[in-house]
């Protein structure tokens, strides 16, 4: 099969300096796109700029905080002036901010910080980007990086989980609004993926690593490149009739729900003490 070609397309990725965002930037750059990156971390900006220059990619890597409304508006004006619009927006920024605690103990400040970095910028960045997408005519694509936690609960990380659920509703509703403009709106919902923010390779004790294959049907955690593959699909003509939906990027974890494989490799959905957990 011929690989995808984004020559001439203008793609904006938020948080493109690391993890999933960086892999998405690289995937589009490799396929000819012109890139705009809004990244809060100056060092990551410098590193990415160097890499994109080395691959002769036409790119604007901006040290921008997407939670800063004025900075986002200024970036959009710069993009319009330099590139004449946008074809693809990837809302990738999101962070649980290391806040793992009972909901009842969350302060107002916790709630506001989580809202700012997980949902509010998706509203403000998308709103600012819509005229730029419209200015390029039909064929635009808006992609938000959600989480598999948009479709199940996660104790002690309740607020992050709620904002990820909200992305599903935003995606569905905006898809209806922008359908007549030929702009598609979708999301990607990753399960645990090895990035700067989440490091299963370090967080999980070595003796437990081997068990990963027992609870994820495709037997591994995600890579940033897995997410990039979905973003390429959702930005391309291959998904021309796909809008308002979310791809579960999870190796089958959500399909498994409470099912996993016992030490004998048999599927079970009950607690295993010995055997396969069933009283038979």
Ligand X SMILES: NC(=O)c1ccc[n+]([C@@H]2O[C@H](COP(=O)([O-])OP(=O)(O)OC[C@H]3O[C@@H](n4cnc5c(N)ncnc54)[C@H](O)[C@@H]3O)[C@@H](O)[C@H]2O)c1
Contact 270, 277 (CB under 8 A): yes
The verdict on whether 260 is a catalytic residue reads no
Stretch that binds ligand X, among 4-12, 53-61, 105-113, 185-193 (CB under 6 A): 185-193
Provide the angle, in degrees to the nearest 10, between the axes of the packed helices 158-178 and 108-115: 30
Task: Tell me if residue 30 falls in helix, strand or coil.
Answer: helix
- Binding part of the chain for ligand X, among 61-69, 211-219, 238-246, 263-271 by CB under 6 A, reads 61-69
Binding piece for ligand X, criterion CB under 6 A, among 24-32, 63-71, 75-83, 177-185: 63-71
Whats the size of the chain, residue-wise? 280
User: If binding is defined by CB under 6 A, does position 14 make contact with ligand X?
Assistant: yes
Taking CB under 6 A as the binding criterion, the range among 173-181, 196-204, 260-268, 271-279 that sits at the site for ligand X is 196-204
Find the shortest distance in angstroms from Cβ 188 to ligand X: 8
Minimum Å gap between C-beta 277 and ligand X is 28
Kind of pairing between the strands at 184-190 and 59-62: unpaired
- Residue 147 in contact with ligand X, rule: CB under 6 A: yes
Residue 175 touching ligand X (CB under 6 A)? no
The CA distance from 92 to 82, in Å, is: 22
Which tokens sit at 95? Answer: 């962070």
Helix axes 19-30, 224-235, angle to 10 degrees: 50
| Selected binder of ligand X within 198, 231, 232, 253 (CB under 6 A) | 198
* Token representation of residue 266: 């048999």
Interface with ligand X in residues 64-93 (CB under 6 A): 65-67, 92-93
Cβ atoms of 201 and 162 within 8 Å: the answer is no
What b/e string do you get for 245-275 counting C-beta neighbours within 10 Å, with b at 16 or more?
bbbbbbbebbebeeebbbeeeeebeeebeee
Q: Which of 30, 80, 197, 245 binds ligand X (CB under 6 A)?
A: 197
Judge contact between 87 and 9, C-beta under 8 A.
Answer: yes
- Among 125, 132, 145, 253, interactor with ligand X by CB under 6 A: 145
What is the spatial distance between Cα 135 and Cα 151, in angstroms, rounded to a whole number? 34
User: Which member of 21, 29, 239, 246 binds ligand X (CB under 6 A)?
Assistant: 21
Residue 82 Cβ vs ligand X, minimum distance, rounded to whole Å: 19
Q: Select which of 160, 163, 170, 221 is catalytic.
A: 160
Contacting ligand X (CB under 6 A), which of 6, 19, 119, 251?
A: 19
Residues that bind ligand X (CB under 6 A): 14-15, 17-21, 38-41, 44, 65-67, 92-95, 117, 145, 147, 190, 192-193, 195-198
Positions marked active-site? 160
């Amino acid at each position: 099969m011929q690989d995808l070609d984004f020559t001439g397309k203008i793609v904006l990725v938020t948080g493109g300096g690391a993890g999933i965002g960086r892999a998405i930037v690289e995937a589009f750059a490799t396929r000819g796109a012109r890139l705009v990156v809004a990244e809060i971390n100056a060092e990551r900006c410098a590193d990415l700029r160097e890499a994109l220059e080395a691959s002769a990619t036409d790119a604007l890597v901006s040290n921008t905080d997407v939670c800063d409304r004025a900075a986002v508006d200024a970036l959009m004006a710069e993009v319009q002036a330099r590139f004449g619009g946008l074809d693809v927006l990837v809302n990738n920024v999101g962070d649980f901010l290391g806040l793992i605690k009972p909901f009842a103990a969350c302060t107002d400040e916790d709630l506001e910080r989580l809202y700012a970095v997980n949902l509010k910028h998706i509203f403000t960045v998308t709103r600012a980007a819509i005229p730029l997408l419209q200015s390029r005519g039909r064929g635009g694509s808006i992609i938000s990086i959600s989480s598999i936690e948009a479709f199940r609960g996660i104790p002690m990380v309740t607020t992050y989980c709620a904002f990820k659920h909200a992305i599903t509703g935003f995606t569905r509703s905006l898809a209806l609004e922008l359908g007549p403009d030929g702009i598609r709106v979708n999301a990607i919902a990753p399960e645990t993926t090895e990035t700067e923010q989440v490091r299963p390779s370090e967080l999980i004790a070595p003796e437990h690593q081997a068990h990963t294959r027992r609870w994820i049907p495709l037997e591994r955690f995600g890579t940033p490149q897995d997410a990039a593959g979905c973003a390429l699909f959702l930005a391309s003509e291959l998904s021309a009739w796909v809008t308002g939906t979310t791809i579960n990027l999870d190796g089958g974890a959500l399909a498994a729900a409470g099912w996993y494989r016992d030490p004998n490799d048999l599927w079970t959905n009950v607690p295993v003490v010995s055997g396969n957990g069933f009283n038979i």
